[in-house]
Homo-oligomer: A and B are copies of this chain.
């Protein structure tokens, strides 16, 4: 998963991920890239120019005020020598200048407020409304609440758990089943050797500082970020130059080394937020939960930080299982763990989370995809590198064009981008708040061919929810090297191919005589020559009989004579090609997707009496935690019996439902059901037929009791739409609706 293992596997920054490359880039960061990344990091970028102008204007006004104040003081100091009228005029002018400066300050404050938070207050309010509903309805619960909880750990309560199960079931249907993927299920407990090979043991770290007196830990970049943001938002006296510097720091925050972070913290005088104590220098903290496997205490293990490694180490078996054919994909859904230093952002940054990852193995020489045609016409917001670098916004692009123009590296990567788009929008993610952002060159590892993140906009900004990366052969090679087991694929040629191969045969006897103890280094250097180097040497030896040759391991040149080495190109017949497959990896942060889905699905509408706002989640049926509720209109035996018949039919059909027999008004029961996003409400108001109400339109149809289950099943399976069934069944006008609706 890209955003979860960015550091160890790519060693480059991820905006919303924990990434922090260790190469010093603060000074070296090229202005264009820095400006572009600033665009992304802060939503303020497009207003940067006007904000700068406002800061400059404020500084000028303030300077004018200061100068005029000085003038007034000078006049007053002159005493009687100054005419009263002159003094009065100067004071009036000072007042006017102060009014102007005040206005300039307010304009700047407004600009900074709007850009910094992006309509911060409204977002915050909206988030509070969603989160309140989610917590009250037990979509999620802070874990171990009765023991005052643990930061970064959350439970899914009943409706949240059902939404999660539905999202995962749909993921299996949409990816695993549709693409015939090989799903595996590996343990969370992972021995150290695996995570050494993957790089996590060495590099899966965040930089931490400690309160030097209390020992409280903080993420170093968080403190620096908070400092810069607060300065930018609240200190109106900041010079445009200083503001630009702070913004630059924010833009390159993820790229700062420990030393650079430490230097900035010292330079800005940042102290521990709670105690104002001085802070330690930043040092790396590994984010994996460590444990010990078995009783000896000698075998270090970790809770996996991603599920992908379990797939890579099984490549060989899976390749054989697939009949030794490429391409194929393996998939895994499971828990992953990250011991965050100080989790923030609620459900978006947690210490344990569910990942769904796909590793699609493909011949690096053929990344076409037979089903790419199915997605070429999709059009959605893409945010390629060029747009980011030129400071523009994401644009609607046709996927087919993005691949044919080379914006997206290859068809397979493009195919998965399209499939991810379909997956997210079918779940109910708003397509206008979903974009695919390409990684900038400095975000990607040298080996990666191309990376795109599906980012979803929510009240926290644009959140990376799915990473789709062409990681080339990196992961399989790392495990091949460490384990000694070749993780390769074979292409058998239908007929053997003739290939020319470079053959270098050092004469150890002659080299030994000439170089004695250094012979080994010379031999290795000769054998390591590229084809061009070898051919140049061959030509030199043939023309001159000897040549100078640099042996790096000796740190000097040596003279090679003709008899010391024989160099030739030989023709050989090859029956197969052996290669390490490329990996294309779509990796889904399920919890983040679900949280964004909650925000995108939430809305409020006035109650009938318009006295209060009612909360609604407009979950599509496949996501809805409960597919329908059954309400006997009033309490009587006849309706109860009918409800029981419906209950049984719904259970048999496998439709999750609730029977609500509480003696409250049908309107309040509808509101209760809307609040957890139940799409269909069945009201039993006769012994033979019922009404079915659709949540968002509030329209009702009348259906016979024996048909209820099958109608609801069609609606929730996606076989029928509400339009289909309202065409087929008579619409029902509730007594309250008669005033405003005409009979259909």
Known A144-B193, A158-B321, A289-B301; further 11 A-B contacts with Cβ < 8 A: A141-B184, A145-B317, A147-B191, A147-B194, A153-B187, A157-B321, A177-B654, A189-B337, A285-B295, A292-B339, A335-B335
The residues in A between 147 and 188 inclusive whose CB is less than 8 angstroms from any CB of B are 147, 150-151, 153-158, 160-162, 164-165, 169, 172-173, 177-178, 180, 182-188
A352 within 8 A of B: yes
Collect the chain B residues with CB atoms within 8 Å of residue A485's CB. Answer: 146
Complex alpha-carbon distance, A291 and B155, angstroms = 20
A741 within 8 A of B: no
Collect the chain B residues with CB atoms within 8 Å of residue A291's CB. Answer: 289-291, 303, 339
Q: How far is the CB of A287 from chain B (nearest CB, A)?
A: 9
A459 within 8 A of B: no
Q: How far is the CB of A204 from chain B (nearest CB, A)?
A: 13
Nearest residue (CB) in B for A288 is B291
Collect the chain B residues with CB atoms within 8 Å of residue A68's CB. Answer: none
Can you list 20 residue pairs at the A/B interface with Cβ under 8 Å? Answer: A137-B321, A141-B314, A144-B191, A150-B301, A153-B189, A154-B187, A155-B186, A157-B317, A161-B183, A164-B185, A165-B183, A177-B654, A180-B658, A187-B351, A188-B335, A189-B289, A189-B352, A217-B294, A293-B351, A303-B303
What are the 6 closest A-B residue pairs judged by CB atoms, nearest first? A156-B185, A146-B483, A158-B182, A146-B485, A217-B295, A187-B352
A138 within 8 A of B: yes
Complex alpha-carbon distance, A150 and B313, angstroms = 13
Complex alpha-carbon distance, A153 and B352, angstroms = 20
User: B289 contacts A215, CB within 8 Å?
Assistant: no
Give chain A's interface residues, CB within 8 Å of chain B.
Answer: 137-138, 141, 143-147, 150-151, 153-158, 160-162, 164-165, 169, 172-173, 177-178, 180, 182-191, 193-194, 208, 215-217, 285, 289-296, 299, 301, 303, 310, 313-314, 316-318, 321, 323, 335, 337, 339-342, 351-352, 479, 482-483, 485, 487, 651, 654, 656, 658, 662
User: B313 contacts A145, CB within 8 Å?
Assistant: yes
**Number of copies of this protein chain within its complex:** 2
Complex alpha-carbon distance, A425 and B495, angstroms = 54
Option from B217, B314, B335, B341 in Cβ contact (under 8 Å) with A157? B314
Option from B217, B487, B651 in Cβ contact (under 8 Å) with A296? B217
User: B314 contacts A145, CB within 8 Å?
Assistant: yes
Complex alpha-carbon distance, A339 and B314, angstroms = 23
Complex alpha-carbon distance, A249 and B658, angstroms = 54
User: B316 contacts A146, CB within 8 Å?
Assistant: yes
User: A294 contacts B483, CB within 8 Å?
Assistant: no
Complex alpha-carbon distance, A150 and B291, angstroms = 14
Nearest residue (CB) in B for A320 is B138
Known: A146-B483, A178-B651, A339-B294. A138 touches B351 (CB 8 A): no
Q: How far is the CB of A390 from chain B (nearest CB, A)?
A: 40
Collect the chain B residues with CB atoms within 8 Å of residue A169's CB. Answer: 169
Nearest residue (CB) in B for A350 is B187
Nearest residue (CB) in B for A189 is B352
Collect the chain B residues with CB atoms within 8 Å of residue A317's CB. Answer: 138, 141, 145, 157
Option from B155, B190, B342 in Cβ contact (under 8 Å) with A185? B155
Complex alpha-carbon distance, A193 and B352, angstroms = 19
Collect the chain B residues with CB atoms within 8 Å of residue A318's CB. Answer: 138, 157-158
User: A656 contacts B177, CB within 8 Å?
Assistant: yes
Known: A314-B155, A651-B177. A186 touches B303 (CB 8 A): no
Known: A215-B296, A294-B341, A321-B157. A162 touches B183 (CB 8 A): yes
User: B188 contacts A188, CB within 8 Å?
Assistant: yes
Collect the chain B residues with CB atoms within 8 Å of residue A157's CB. Answer: 182, 184, 314, 317-318, 321
User: B187 contacts A479, CB within 8 Å?
Assistant: no
Known: A185-B155, A194-B144, A352-B188. A150 touches B293 (CB 8 A): yes
Known: A158-B182, A314-B155. A191 touches B150 (CB 8 A): yes
Q: How far is the CB of A660 from chain B (nearest CB, A)?
A: 9
Complex alpha-carbon distance, A147 and B216, angstroms = 38
Collect the chain B residues with CB atoms within 8 Å of residue A296's CB. Answer: 215-217
Known: A151-B294, A310-B155. A185 touches B173 (CB 8 A): no
Collect the chain B residues with CB atoms within 8 Å of residue A339's CB. Answer: 291-295
Q: How far is the CB of A319 from chain B (nearest CB, A)?
A: 11
Known: A158-B184, A161-B185, A183-B158. A295 touches B341 (CB 8 A): yes
Complex alpha-carbon distance, A303 and B351, angstroms = 13
Nearest residue (CB) in B for A717 is B654
Known: A295-B339, A303-B303, A321-B138. A143 touches B310 (CB 8 A): yes
Nearest residue (CB) in B for A147 is B193
Complex alpha-carbon distance, A342 and B351, angstroms = 30
User: A172 contacts B161, CB within 8 Å?
Assistant: no
Collect the chain B residues with CB atoms within 8 Å of residue A177's CB. Answer: 651, 654, 656
User: A189 contacts B146, CB within 8 Å?
Assistant: no
User: B483 contacts A147, CB within 8 Å?
Assistant: yes
User: A172 contacts B165, CB within 8 Å?
Assistant: yes
Collect the chain B residues with CB atoms within 8 Å of residue A183's CB. Answer: 158, 161-162, 165
Collect the chain B residues with CB atoms within 8 Å of residue A482's CB. Answer: 147
Complex alpha-carbon distance, A485 and B149, angstroms = 13
Nearest residue (CB) in B for A173 is B654
Q: How far is the CB of A52 from chain B (nearest CB, A)?
A: 38
Nearest residue (CB) in B for A352 is B187
Collect the chain B residues with CB atoms within 8 Å of residue A216's CB. Answer: 296
Collect the chain B residues with CB atoms within 8 Å of residue A351's CB. Answer: 187, 189, 293
Collect the chain B residues with CB atoms within 8 Å of residue A178's CB. Answer: 651
Collect the chain B residues with CB atoms within 8 Å of residue A186's CB. Answer: 143, 155
Complex alpha-carbon distance, A217 and B318, angstroms = 34
Option from B188, B190, B313 in Cβ contact (under 8 Å) with A146? B313
User: B160 contacts A185, CB within 8 Å?
Assistant: yes
Collect the chain B residues with CB atoms within 8 Å of residue A185's CB. Answer: 155-156, 160-161, 164
Nearest residue (CB) in B for A172 is B165
Q: How far is the CB of A566 from chain B (nearest CB, A)?
A: 38
Complex alpha-carbon distance, A160 and B314, angstroms = 14
